[in-house]
Amino acid sequence: MSSPKKTLTSCALILALATVDARAHGGVYRGPGNVVSSPGTGSSSGSSGSSGSGGTGTITPGSAGTTTGGGNTPGTAGPRGAGPVIPTGVASRGPVGAPLDDDLTRWTYYWEFRKDSYLGLRAAVHATGTIQFSDTFFMAGGDKEGSDTLLPSEDQLRTEVLPPLHRALESTSQRDITSSCLVALAKLGLEDKYFALLPTLRARLTSHDQEIRETAALAMGISQRSGAVPDLVALLHDTDRGRRLCERSEVDDRTRSFAGYGLGLIAYGSPSLGVKRIVFEALRDVLDDDSVVGWNVPIAALSGVGLLHLDSQIDPAVDGLRSEALGLLARLHDADVGVGRQLVQAHIATAAAALLADSREASLRSAWIERLLDDLRGATTAQGSTRRLAVLGQSAALALGELAAPHEDGAPEAHVSEALLKAFEDGMDFQTGVFALTALGRIGGSRNVEALLEVLASGTKALERPWAALALGIHEHHRLASAGTAGRIDERITKALEAQLDEVKNPETLAALAVALGLSRARDASPKLRVLLDEHRSKDELAGYICLGLALMEDRSSIPAIREIVQQSGRRPQRLIQSAMALGRLGDKSAALALMDQMSGADQNLAVLSSLAFAVGRIGDRRTIPALVEMVGDTEMVDLARAFAVVAIGGVGDKESEPWSAKIGRLANYRAAVETLFNQASGILDIL
């Protein structure tokens, strides 16, 4: 079983709960499980599994998915105990891994992992402006208005939120409430004279419940307290101290992995070069340790290296550490480890891209570009190995999108964009090809725009055009953001996207076009989108993305229509989440209150409760705090409802503008996931 803290990063794949074990206590939103191609084939399916009915996942209770040993065999995490979630690396065995219930080539997976940086949701909600207080939820006698921000103050969080969360944690051993409280307290990152954060988290490392132990380790990282570093290093390395911390004969691999992710989160948020170096050295030692078996711990360590966040403009002294970290990654990347370990290597490219993002050293960037081009082309290693997993090329495409310069005539890095376009046109691996399209959009330049417009016009409607549309939207978003107030909409792109609305009928493609038009700020297309919203409101996924597209283009005239969608989505969680976030993005101060009206109702199933908690937390409206606190303290309520209220409070009071998981998800190759990263139930990217 899984916890209410476990929820999908990809809310595009939510369906209403159909059948649930009576013991279910998570409302887990299904996402990618086995996301790696068979080593025997080295390719991904290019077929679409979308039926156009509004989603491809189902919500199931799932298993805890925990393993206690350090062996080389992955656990059986994921719904229905479907078997290994990562390949064995033995090509002669044929296709391996869990059955694919969802088509992972859909654009929605890519978008949902990366959407937070594009939405700017909390910034919009917390902006000052007129606030309307709901008379049905907060005040009798009519609406009140005032000019204020919906951002909760530290004093409000410390006095109104911290004590009830601490009481809830101390008064129960129930898994759902305990795990949710640990994450929520870490998100707040606050203390008072009665409550010390790190000792409280550390105490849960001794729990007999695997989920609570690993959550405590991760929460120490979410807290971003540098004082947690020695404990997390001890857990990661399975030292005597680490074993004493969890009162076990060994630190299990899942807790070690969560400690590795936690160390990366602390390094990311720390301004101290000393802390970053300690974290790096701890992660390096794990990656250099041949006795570490399995995929989970090394992949967590690579993720941590990618989270070091070394910004030369803030502190030039970080350049030395960056060079050292990139040297480690280069050595690991170039090693001929065979197919069985290439799943680990697939996480090196994106870690390197993250390290290079703020670098001033052009030579380092150029060297990595050439290394990644070899991966994209499927070149052999220096030792002559010819068996390579497709995930290596996929990761290379994602990373190159972050590193290369715009493609213009005569540009010195034009060969990068040309190689990415060739990877798409050759079609050897569909996922690599569509990741290459997004990379072209991210890189930008007139030549890449021309190539993407061609795919948009002539590519297969259900498979390639959604990705081309998204890539164009990504291009326009970054171009306009860089231009600032001087930026002007590129009508060649917006008109091409809008024209596709009349040509295609596939809901998957229409949804991508809506998001792309929103990213492109194509407000002239809003009338067509509102018509489509009215026509397709019964198709939950499409309706939700149309709402989001209207919000991204800041079309405030759509607020009444989106409000109506929210009000009619009480038992349609997928549509509810997207439309509610759209209202928040448009600055509608009533969005969170409408959700709380529904959340406080007694007749809610698990899917609805979890989606409401997700949306309320993401919007982050301080006015929801009193009602949420009341729910947390109401011991007459079922544990699930109380735990979902804790989840929502953690989101509202989050010290960061984006969810902590966004740092990991925005560059991750989800096609190379392992159970501790993402597996539909018990990976860190499944945690709300």
Residue 603's pLDDT is what? 59
Residue 1's pLDDT is what? 39
CA distances from 418 to 370, 392, 400, 407 (A): 13, 18, 12, 9
Rounded to a whole number of angstroms, the CA Rg of the chain reads: 24
Residue 84 reports pLDDT greater than 80 = no
Residue 683's pLDDT is what? 87
Distance between CA atoms of residues 440 and 455, nearest Å: 12
Residue 60 reports pLDDT greater than 80 = no
Model pTM? 0.84
Q: Which residues of 9-43 are buried (b: 16+ CB within 10 A; e: fewer)?
A: bbbbbbbbbeebeeebbbbbbbbbbbbbbbbbebb
Per-residue pLDDT band at 479 (split at 50, 70, 90): very high
DSSP state of 195: B
Comparing 59-68, 340-349, 584-593, the range with the smallest average pLDDT is 59-68
Residue 43's pLDDT is what? 37
Closest by CA position to 546, among listed 509, 601, 493, 491: 509
Neighbours of 602 (CB within 10 A): 6
CA atoms within 13 A on the CB side of 150: 32
Distance between CA atoms of residues 41 and 429, nearest Å: 10
Beta bridge partners of 626: none
Closest by CA position to 372, among listed 436, 438, 300: 436
Residue 428's pLDDT is what? 85
Residue 147's pLDDT is what? 44
Q: What is the DSSP string of 430-487?
A: HHHHHHHHHHHHHH--HHHHHHHHHHHHHS-TTTTHHHHHHHHHHHHHHHHHHHGGG-
Residue 86 reports pLDDT greater than 60 = no
Residue 305 reports pLDDT greater than 80 = yes
- 415: buried, middle or exposed (CB in 10 Å: 19+, 13-18, 0-12)? middle
Residue 386's pLDDT is what? 53
Per-residue pLDDT band at 123 (split at 50, 70, 90): confident
Q: For residue range 173-225, list pLDDT tens digits in order.
A: 899 999 999 999 999 999 998 999 999 999 999 999 999 999 999 999 999 99
Most confident of 42-51, 84-93, 280-289, 559-568: 280-289
Distance between CA atoms of residues 567 and 360, nearest Å: 50
Q: For residue range 634-657, list pLDDT tens digits in order.
A: 998 889 889 999 999 999 999 998
Neighbours of 476 (CB within 10 A): 26
Q: For residue range 446-477, list pLDDT tens digits in order.
A: 999 999 999 999 999 999 999 999 999 999 99
Which comes out higher in pLDDT, residue 361 or 328?
328
> What mean pLDDT do residues 266-289 have?
97
Comparing 3-17, 205-219, 301-315, 333-347, the range with the smallest average pLDDT is 3-17
Distance between CA atoms of residues 577 and 106, nearest Å: 19
- What phi and psi values does residue 659 have, to the nearest 5 degrees? -55, 145
The tokens 């399975």 sit on which residue? 238
Q: What SS3 class is residue 132?
A: strand
Most confident of 72-86, 356-370, 455-469, 655-669: 455-469
CA distances from 159 to 44, 197, 596, 629, 655 (A): 52, 15, 21, 11, 15
> What mean pLDDT do residues 80-102 have?
29
CB 555 within 8 A of CB 523: yes
> What mean pLDDT do residues 490-494 have?
96
Span between the terminal Cα atoms of the chain, in Å: 16
Q: For residue range 597-635, list pLDDT tens digits in order.
A: 888 765 567 778 888 888 899 889 999 999 999 999 999
Which comes out higher in pLDDT, residue 341 or 270?
270
